[in-house]
Structure 1
């Protein structure tokens, strides 16, 4: 099998493993999710952009994209192999090879004197390899990354890689953005344009040497609209806070530089420390998303909370579109293509009161007071650092609350005449 065939085989196995449907139907969230899973398994960070170039290859095209060896090794390890070479060895396929019946040679029973001297050199080589690996590992943990807020959304980065040997180094700024590092030690500044909880990594030759989260607070609820690779932060709050609900006016899509005839996504986010454990909480919110109000297609509507290490997320759709529903908590990632998420198909043309209860990593989802779905996860999510409620189209939200398990309200917003903090 040529290199291209191995790449395509790798893509097919990844598609089979994650169970998110056909790769040509994946959206940005799926690629970000895959990037996070690969990092968790291998400690190698592959950007969303690189994953898109790998996954969205056309089998019959004249050219193809072949990633670097470090990336291929990470993909192979994610699939359960030791390396890319091991992956290739385990996936040898010769389409034209015909099966032949081979008569085994008669067994010969004989004794052979073992020469122990022949084992001395291999043992020495193995011990040397182990020693080299231990030294390499020690060096790899000697990198430093310090991040300090300068002003507003402007952050200063200081890094030090002088203690290690490497070919290429970068800082992963999350969401597919990378800053190449041209010197072994230095500083730079970066302005984050959107409020969010970012997971940043210092990498050398694709290996993560240091990681740190930063939070760009939103100072209340903000509206972000995404169309393709373009993201717009809506600065005029009057465009999305009206009639005592949080909902962007669909007739204003063109005025913010987007095409209303093409699909777009709107999310309402509040990024701050909510001072509550993501593995033990209650979230309540009223949501609505229909064609008349600016919804699109299956009216996808998701509720997500960002935390220190993981996220919690439920996506609802209209009945009949359950293949686009999803459930993501900790290490558990379910989608409607391969899991029964029909309960997440609800009538979004009317207001629906959503309640998400998480008690010791046991999740219970309610609609209008009725439990519709239960599941669990194992890896801790951590303290909540932000909320995102996202719609295909514009959607609307009201009466948002976060409570502890004693049902004491930690935070609430009803969106009257002004944006809640």
Structure 2
């Protein structure tokens, strides 16, 4: 096993990695971490990386257990930590994330006043100050203090080692895959063991809906209404304790309508031969037959979810669309593109320039909105038709609108495998073509047309 001696640079990078992990975990101040945090992080790391790192090992890595030499973990452990941050291995992480430049320390040298000498009767000198302790007693005092410090350290070490393990809160979806619709059952363990806050646990189901758990809840269900890949999170005080993916597969392309301010239900649109031949849209009459009041604001989702061999961090997606013409309930002529990944997603909203306040985008962990980030580049009027292209290469994303590069960014958390596509219009829009391919293998999406 490697240790920390003679590896000052490696230890600095380890500390940097620990800080990034703490930020992803949701508690940047490592000093405030409790035993329960290391138990939960151990559980999360195993679920994400399939590498088992014990809570005590994590404490040594994070410097919470003091040793003669700073602990430096084995390569497999370092690779797992890097994978959690968003890199394939530790070496790649070190190259991609060099240490931030050190700040210049300001050293303050205390100025000690010189002893004051006074003349004693008879011409001798007396040095002012306290009488010094005899040397033999000083050594005894120092030795006693040293022994006391060692005993306290040993006691704290064994107290930490012998803390009875607290079960980390767990959330498991018993039936994570299904058709459309799907009732997913979530089972819970250990939610009554976390007493650091009186607040209750909450589930965010990934479809915009939430549920607050009681301490006695062990199983609950949730009704998913549309195809897609949903990431459900178990949270408390904005801190994520566990997560689960729920996947609703479709048989080819589907069309589903929703109404603004109506979160109680969706309206499947029954059409045949969608995106076959010249069948590239649904009309207002078909939407109305599904139960939608087309005189109000409504949205139509075209979704095709199927597991692919296309890498969500290296792909090219080109879509040709025509957004909704002006009609009752439609002002912004919005179109939204979504790429469903294994543990995250990419999406962008494109709207008429006057509606930029409502625009949003996401590339894995990077989320922006028009309200606070000024997404002017997503303003485009596509009522007469246009092209939107998403190109991602090695986790660097680009947005092209009508052949022009308008935005690019880099993200860290990998999307991994693509599980489908979604195209949403406000009102009635048309998809003229979809082309999704893997940049490295050339594999094409089965739903291309």
TM above 0.5, yes or no, is yes
Given that residues 249 and 305 in structure 2 are in contact (C-alpha distance below 8 angstroms), is that contact kept between their aligned partners in structure 1?
Answer: yes
Cα shift at 1:200:
2.4
Shift of 1:358: 0.6
Verify the 8 A CA contact 1:240 1:246 in the aligned structure 2.
no
Partner of 1:410: 445
Q: Which residue of 1 aligns with 2:94?
A: none
> Which segment drifts farther, 353-362 or 324-333?
324-333
Contact 2:169 2:188 in 1 (8 A): no
Please give the alpha-carbon distance, in whole angstroms, between the structure 1 residues aligned to 2:401 and 2:162: 54
Q: How does 1:312-327 map to 2 (within 5 A)?
A: 312-327=346-361
Query: What SS does structure 2 have at the residue aligned with 1:237?
Result: coil
Give the conservation status (yes or no) of the 8 Å contact 1:280–1:358.
yes
**Cα contact 1:281–1:359 (8 A) shared by 2:** yes
- Give the drift of 1:332: 2.3
Aligned to 2:227: 195
Q: Residue 178 of structure 1 corresponds to which residue in structure 2?
A: 211
Q: Could you tell me which residue of structure 2 aligns to residue 350 of structure 1?
A: 384
Q: Helix, strand or coil for the counterpart of 1:305?
A: strand
Aligned twin of 1:42? 26
- Once the two structures are superposed, the pairs formed by residues 14-53 of structure 1 within 5 Å of their partners are 42=26
1:357: Cα distance to partner? 0.9
Partner of 2:295: 261
In structure 1, the partner of 2:190 is 161
Q: Do the aligned partners of 1:155 and 1:191 also contact (CA within 8 Å) in 2?
A: yes
1:88-99 matches, cutoff 5 A: none
**Partner residue, 1:104:** none
Contact in 1 for aligned 2:174/2:186 (Cα 8 Å): yes
2:175 and 2:351 map into 1 onto residues whose CA distance is 41
Q: Which residue of 1 aligns with 2:268?
A: 235
Gaps in structure 2 of 5+ consecutive residues: 1-22, 28-112, 114-128, 131-141
Residue equivalent to 2:175: 148
Larger deviation, residues 166-175 vs 371-380: 166-175
Instruction: Report SS of the residue matched to 1:409.
Output: coil
SS of aligned partner of 2:352: coil
Return 280-289 or 319-328, whichever deviates more: 319-328
Change (3 A) 1:387 1:187: same
Question: 1:204–1:332: structure 2 CA closer, same or farther, 3 Å change rule?
Answer: closer
User: How far apart are the structure 2 equivalents of 1:338 and 1:202?
Assistant: 27
SS at match of 1:343: helix
Do structure 1's residue 335 and structure 2's residue 369 form an aligned pair?
A: yes
Taking a change above 3 Å as real, the CA distance of residues 190 and 356 of structure 1, as seen in their structure-2 partners, is: closer
Deviation sequence 1:118-155 (CA, Å, 0-9, x none): xx99x98xx9799689958x414264635235975244
Relative to structure 2, which stretch is displaced further, 233-242 or 190-199? 233-242
Contact 2:170–2:189, Cα closer than 8 Å, also in 1 = yes
Larger radius of gyration: 2
Deviates more, 1:398-407 or 1:160-169: 160-169
CA gap 1:130/1:397 in 2 versus in 1, 3 angstroms: farther
Whole-angstrom CA distance in 1 between matches of 2:407 and 2:235 = 40
Q: Superposition RMSD on alpha carbons, in Å?
A: 4.6
The aligned residue for residue 225 of structure 1 is 258
8 Å contact from structure 1 (residues 144, 161) kept in 2:
no
Q: TM-score, normalised by structure 2?
A: 0.56
Q: How far did 1:345 drift?
A: 2.2
- Could you tell me the TM-score, scaled by structure 1's length? 0.59
- Residue 227 of structure 1 and its aligned partner are, at CA, apart by 2.0
| C-alpha separation in 2, matches of 1:288 and 1:295 | 17
Q: In the TM superposition, what is the alpha-carbon distance from 1:404 to its structure 2 partner?
A: 1.0
Displacement after TM superposition at 1:413 (Å): 3.1
Please list the CA deviations of residues 164-208 of structure 1 after superposition, one character each: whole Å capped at 9, or x if unmatched: 355755654333232735647x54555433222122234578764
Aligned pairs, number: 312
Match of 2:335 in 1: 301
Asked whether the 8 Å contact 1:216–1:271 carries over to 2, the reply is yes
**SS at structure 1 position matched to 2:271:** helix
Structure-2 change in CA distance of 1:233 and 1:279 (3 Å): same
Partner of 1:389: helix, strand, or coil?
strand
**1:325 positional shift:** 3.3
